[in-house]
Structure 1
Amino acid sequence: MFLSYLVVVISANMMLIQSHDCNDYDRLASDQSLIDMMTHCLHTCIKPAASASGVTYVRWGKKACPKGVELVYTGQVGGNQYTYKGGGVTNLSLPNDPENGEPLSGTNDQIVGGQYELTSPNRPSGMKSTLTDNEVPCAVCYQRKRSTVLMIPGRKTCYKGWTFEYTGYIMSDHKDHSSKEYVCVDKDAEPVDDKNKNENGALFYGVKTNCGSLRCPPYKNAVTVHCVVCTK
């Protein structure tokens, strides 16, 4: 209410000043002080509305976001069939409520579901063996008041000054298949549902290090690769 009054008073004063020729109007010191005070208050008391800010990231292997982080949508992983040599190499987080397109007569059927391939030789020790041949879920998360999101391979914790979102393991398709991106799959990964069927698709294997061009130390040979997602 007070600020609205100030705006009216200042507007009235400015209109009064502008209605007189400068040579005919002689402002008193008290008039100028009042105007200066009101102008200062308008610049310091009225705070502009904060603009929406934040970052989004995909939490691979989970249906929900970490506590306190807004869920944009939940879905399942989609990608290119592991035997295909062309097409996309990135994984997609496909929402569970799609707005489906129209029929397409071509043969370029690239988008299939993602499945865990976590039999004993390919499973990080911290993950469930029951995930094998289950589809991979995902959650798109919105972290407010952040400007940057960073996935750090090879670590379980964030560096100083960064906020922890989740930790997991680096996964990708098998090296003998078509190339796929590396993603950070949550250490507590879960399936899309309880339907366990070996339908293949875009496959998720645990990966391990190979020393040589990769310097060991600091790395170790033939071990799983941790990862952590951090925001700032």
Structure 2
Amino acid sequence: MFLSALIVIVTASLVLVQCHDCKDYDLSASDQSFLMKHYLRTSRKDAGFSTGKPVASGVTYVRWGKKGCPKGVDMVYTGQVGGNRHTNKAGGVNYLCLPNDPENGEPQKSENDQLYGAEYEFGSLYKPAGMKTDMPNKEVPCAVCFQRRRSVYLMIAGRKTCYKGWTSEYSGFLMTDYKTYSSKDYACVDKDAEPLDNKTGDENGALFYGIRTKCGSLRCPPYKDATDVRCVVCTK
């Protein structure tokens, strides 16, 4: 506020000084106001101040289980899911979308292995009913997506559609590691999930299982017992 007032005073002084000896022109109050506004606008632009124009924005999110992004959404990179091994008792708990073109570090002597590839752990068991493909022991792909027309991201567990005013990026099923293994984040895995490749390694690093509800402290209704958990990724 002080800086703006100072600029107005300086500008007014410049207009008065520059026009003090003017003989052929008699600037009206409206003309002087126009010159001042023009000077302020160009000065602020040159000085890096905001001109009131909207700034380019967007939001990023991970699409778990797919190699690409939805139509009309920019892909930052595609990769594979990684995370801590399911038998490790401590360390990182979140899944990571690892790029396919890493810039690798140097060898390390200490034994603290915490970054493994992730596998789908469902065939006839642990697969959500609405998921089309059996993918036991298949590695999990991912894509980091940039939605330039939105500015807020929200994953809603328990729904397959977004609330009014929000746009669906993709929908799927809530997944995480098995309940007796080490803790992991919940991830919304695309309902049309695909494998990373044709390899079936059964290496059991970080794992994805379909989960189900358990009534009790979870109120039923509105929820139902022992059902798949839907999810949807929404932007606004």
TM-score interval for Structure 1 and Structure 2 normalised by the shorter chain: 0.7 to 0.9
Deviation of the 1:125 alpha carbon: 1.3
Distance 1:208 1:34, change over 3 A: same
Can you list the C-alpha shifts for 1:45-80, whole angstroms capped at 9, x where unaligned? x96554221111000000111111110000000000
Can you list the C-alpha shifts for 1:175-227, whole angstroms capped at 9, x where unaligned? 01111110000000001111122111100000000000100000000000000
* Residue 124 (structure 2) aligns with: 120
1:2-81 correspondence to structure 2 within 5 Å: 17-19=16-18, 30-39=27-36, 50-81=54-85
Structure 1 stretches lacking a partner, 5+ long: 1-12
Report if aligned partners of 2:127, 2:134 keep a CA contact under 8 Å in 1. no
* Residue 226 (structure 1) aligns with: 230
1:158 corresponds to which letter in structure 2?
C
Q: Percent identity?
A: 58
Query: In 2, distance between residues paired with 1:16 and 1:34?
Result: 10
Can you list the C-alpha shifts for 1:75-130, whole angstroms capped at 9, x where unaligned? 00000001110110000000001000000101101100000011222000122343
Structure 2 stretches lacking a partner, 5+ long: 1-11, 46-50
Distance 1:136 1:100, change over 3 A: same
Deviation of the 1:146 alpha carbon: 1.9
Secondary structure in structure 2 of the residue aligned to 1:94: strand
* Residue 170 (structure 2) aligns with: 166
* Residue 130 (structure 1) aligns with: 134
1:33 corresponds to which letter in structure 2?
S
**1:181 matches 2:177:** no
Deviation of the 1:40 alpha carbon: 5.2
Deviation of the 1:173 alpha carbon: 0.3
Report if aligned partners of 2:171, 2:232 keep a CA contact under 8 Å in 1. yes
Distance 1:129 1:69, change over 3 A: closer
1:152-163 correspondence to structure 2 within 5 Å: 152-163=156-167
* Residue 216 (structure 1) aligns with: 220
* TM-score (norm. length: structure 1): 0.85
Q: CA RMSD in A?
A: 2.7
1:192 corresponds to which letter in structure 2?
L
Deviation of the 1:138 alpha carbon: 0.4
Secondary structure in structure 1 of the residue aligned to 2:134: helix
1:18 corresponds to which letter in structure 2?
V
* TM-score (norm. length: structure 2): 0.84
Report if aligned partners of 2:15, 2:32 keep a CA contact under 8 Å in 1. no
Report if aligned partners of 1:117, 1:132 keep a CA contact under 8 Å in 2. yes
Distance 1:176 1:27, change over 3 A: farther
Deviation of the 1:27 alpha carbon: 11
